Structure 1
Amino acid sequence: MAEALISVLLEQLASVVFEHTKQAVTLVLNAEEDVHSFSSNLKAIQAVLEDAEKKQVMEARVRDWLQKLKDVSYEMDDVLDEWNTEILKQQVEHGKKKSKGCKMHDIVHDFVQFLTQKECTIIEAVKGANQRVELPGDYKVRHLTLINEHEGQLPTSFDNCKNMRTLTLLDSSITTISPSSIMQMKCLRTLNLSRNKLNEVPKEIGELIHLRYMDLSWSRNLKELPDAVCDLYNLQTLDVSWCLKLEKLPKAMGKLINLKHLYVGGCGALRYLPKGIGSLKSLQVLDQFKVCEGDDDEALKLGDLRIMDQLQGILRIQYLGKDDASEIEKAQLGNKEHLPHLRVIFLIPRVDEDEDEEQRKGDSEIVKALQPHQNLESLSILACHGTTESLYWINSLRNLRKLVLYAWKFCEVLPPLGILPSLEILEILRMTKLKTVGVEFL
């Protein structure tokens, strides 16, 4: 039954593929060769399945045709992904619209996932440092996890992993990855190098055009990413959180038009986010925004968040200064209905006592301009020099469950927070001048 269903799927796929891809493949180098390869692969899958449906096959033969099916399916997936990547490249560089023909790639990709659910290999490094971990020659590894790799260069030969989709290193201390290793993994979709000791990422990373997910978090020696990262048009998740020495991201981040998740929290040395991030309309997660004094032409400003209405999860805005009210207003936080958590941290200025009044006015204007969407579930505001009178909009947050007010230097009276219908947690910390809490809590 399963074989019949798959065969029907492929028959339908074959009937539409060439009509849709005929337009798209003109954008790809050597497109004619790829078309013939795709045609041959598709026919091979159908032939094998038809043979299996017609005959009572022995178990060994079942394994044989299933393996053939997997191999050619991977090849189909790669070809379609390359077409899709080239179209994305044309879209970025020349403003062309994405062809509808590439939507079929999702069908093939789901089909491949169905066929290859158990092709995983886990290897624990037990040899001495700098020893190569060799894989048996008959392995067709698609998903590889390496554990306890020693400090130094990744000591693994990927000669047998040219079709590998996933590489994960756990409890390891890799400092470098050679360009040759990168070039052997051109089909990679997921790269997880979290908590290693990477000093740099080779520019050859840009050759991994199929890459969707890259986790470099907790790479404490990493100072920058190569510009080639911006050639990863299919990348959907980039995690560089807690890369403590990371000073900058590539300028051309706006080319990553499929990027949905960008994690930069804990990057204490990161001076600013590149301006191009403001054009990423598909971005759903931007966990931290650090207000900076960078040049308007190169640094992302708060106002650039205005088109990011798909933001989800938590948004942390750090180091707000007294002059940032207009930028907060431009950010239009009230339009971000999918954003449940907001954390705002004000800059603690080193000012004379005579300048406190100016700081109070500036901070109050910022709080007035916040006005998040009524779907907000948690709100934290830290180190504000304004008064809670500027929180006049808070009663509109009918879904607010948690509120944290920390170190409001001049706050004496709280707004009537007890009337918030969903409020479960209220934290009031270091409010040294607070005198009055509303009776509605009684």
Structure 2
Amino acid sequence: MHDIVHDFARYLAENEFAIKEINSDHLTIDGSRNRHLTVMIDEGIPFPTSISGAEKLRALITFTGEGALTFEALRGLFNHCRRLRVLSFGWPDRTDHLCKEIPEGIGKLIHLRFFHLSSSQKLERLPEALCNLLNLESLDLWHCGNLKQLPDSIGKLINLRYLYTVGCSALTQYPKGVQKLTSLRDLRGLIARADRNDTKEFCLADLGNLKRLRVLHLKVVGNSIDMEQTRKAQLQDTQWLAIFLAGSIQRADIIEALDPHRNIPHLRFCSNYWFKSSPPSY
């Protein structure tokens, strides 16, 4: 039995998974065998604009040099790889690999479940077409320091479970549509108003719609608390809560308003530096 399992695992490794080093503007994939591809591109070489055999690719992970992922390269990628479930452009050691904008063609990847863009410091905006990815479960924007806003239609991502925007220092608010993401379990980097129930900005009261949240990493904006609205947050089932107070609100007041479970396993107040840079550990 052990030999059978070993042979099957080796078969999967040889046929399903592939690693390619790129040194030209064309990428050829064995579409009859490979479903999971890791691409490694040397410094100074752009991501291929011409791709063959990628129609059945399920997962793509890239490790690239400065400026490799151009707008044109991404547009070609989205046209050729429409069955992707996993797409990762993030690379903690590099911050300049991705262009400022992502093409609207991202909306063609309707099967995508995991989209990893962390440390993409040049990225400034996400297209509204991203919100057509109704199967998306995880969106990682960790340390996308120049990202200025999330898409207005983000509420369409009804299957999203994990949303990370820690380190997105140019991001000043969350859109109201986030309250519709009722599948969220883990939300890190949330920005919420405490002083009013705004029609466009996410506010603390909107947390009451996110009943499945277990991990919350929260920046509270405002110098006062609308207590009546904030009590709608209902954080009784949240297991991990980290709070950064951006205004003059006192810790005791925000705890009274949010009213988390008295025996919550993990509760901490954090500094602005910690909020911008550090992942929670629990």
Q: 2:246 aligns with which of 340, 347, 352?
A: 347
User: Matches of 2:80 and 2:31 in 1, distance apart?
Assistant: 17
Shift in Å, 1:364: 4.2
- Amino acid of the structure 1 residue aligned with 2:240: H
Matches within 5 A, 1:26-425: 118-125=15-22, 127=23, 131-135=24-28, 140-151=33-44, 153-155=46-48, 157-173=50-66, 174-176=68-70, 177-195=73-91, 196-292=97-193, 296-319=198-221, 321-334=223-236, 337=237, 339-349=238-248, 364-382=252-270
Name the CA shift for 1:163/1:254 in 2 (closer, same or farther; >3 Å).
same
Cα gap change, 1:329 to 1:253, in 2 (>3 Å):
same
One-letter code of the match for 2:217? L
Name the amino acid aligned to 1:175. L
Q: CA deviation at 1:330?
A: 1.8
Partner amino acid, structure 1, of 2:242: R
Shift of 1:278: 0.2
What are the superposed Cα offsets for residues 187-238 of structure 1, whole Å, 9 maximum, x if unpaired?
A: 1111000133332111000001111110111110111100100111111111
The answer to whether the 8 Å contact 1:143/1:165 transfers is yes
Q: Which has the higher helix share?
A: 1
1:140, 1:161 within 8 Å by CA — same for their partners in 2? no
Counterpart code for 1:380: R
TM-score where L is the length of structure 1: 0.52
**1:218/1:307 Cα in 2 relative to 1: closer, same or farther (>3 Å)?**
same
Q: Which runs of 5+ in 2 are unaligned?
A: 1-7, 92-96, 272-282
Task: Give 2:258's aligned amino acid.
Answer: L
**Matched residue type, 2:53:** N
Query: By how many angstroms is 1:302 displaced?
Result: 1.1
**Retained in 2: the 8 A contact 1:322–1:366?**
no
**C-alpha distance 326-230 of structure 1, shift in aligned 2 (>3 A):** same
- Offset at residue 134 of structure 1 (A): 3.2
CA contact (8 A) 1:175 1:199 kept: no
Contact 2:191 2:202 in 1 (8 A): no
**TM-score using structure 2 length:** 0.79
Give the counterpart letter for 2:17 in structure 1.
C
For structure 1, the residue ranges without an aligned partner over 5 or more in a row are: 1-65, 67-114, 350-358, 384-442
Q: Is the CA contact 2:219–2:246 (under 8 Å) kept in the aligned structure 1?
A: no
Give the aligned residue type for 2:55.
Answer: K
AA in 2 matched with 1:182: F
How many residue pairs align between the two structures?
254
Compared CA separation, residues 327 and 151, structure 1 to 2 (3 A): farther
Residue 253 of structure 1: how far off its partner (Å): 0.8
Quick one: structure 1 residues 375 and 192, their matched pair in 2 at CA, closer, same or farther if it must change by over 3 Å? farther
- Does the 8 Å CA contact 1:318/1:347 hold for their aligned counterparts? yes
Higher relative contact order (Cα pairs below 8 Å, separated by 6+ residues): 2
| Contact residue 115 and residue 139 of structure 2 kept, 8 A | yes
Letter in 2 for 1:141: N
C-alpha contact 2:85 2:112 (8 A) present in aligned 1: yes
3-state SS in 2 of match to 1:343: strand
Alpha carbons of structure 1 residues 152 and 321: separation in structure 2 relative to 1, 3 Å: farther
Deviation, structure 1 residue 124: 2.2
**Deviation of the 1:343 alpha carbon:** 1.4
Distance 1:138 1:303 in 2: 49
* CA displacement, residues 48-85 of structure 1 (integer Å, 9 cap, x when unaligned): xxxxxxxxxxxxxxxxxx9xxxxxxxxxxxxxxxxxxx
Quote how far apart the aligned CAs of 1:375 are: 4.8
Please report how far the alpha carbon of residue 274 of structure 1 lies from its aligned counterpart in structure 2 after TM superposition: 1.4
- Maintained 8 Å contact 2:197/2:203: no
In structure 2, relative to structure 1, the CA distance for the partners of 1:203 and 1:240 (3 Å cut) is same
Give the equivalent residue in structure 2 for 1:13: none
Deviations, residues 389-420 of structure 1 (Å, cap 9, x unaligned): xxxxxxxxxxxxxxxxxxxxxxxxxxxxxxxx
Secondary structure in structure 1 of the residue aligned to 2:244: strand
Question: Cα distance 1:250–1:329, how it changes in 2: closer, same or farther (>3 A)?
Answer: same
Return closer, same or farther for 1:175/1:157 CA change in 2, 3 Å cut-off: closer
1:239 and 1:263 in contact (8 A); partners too: yes
Identity of aligned residues (%): 31
Residues 230 and 252 of structure 1 are in contact (CA less than 8 Å); yes or no, is this contact kept in structure 2? yes
CA contact 2:235–2:260 (8 Å) conserved in 1: yes
Query: How far apart, in 1, do the equivalents of 2:41 and 2:118 lie?
Result: 17
Q: How far did residue 327 of structure 1 move?
A: 4.0
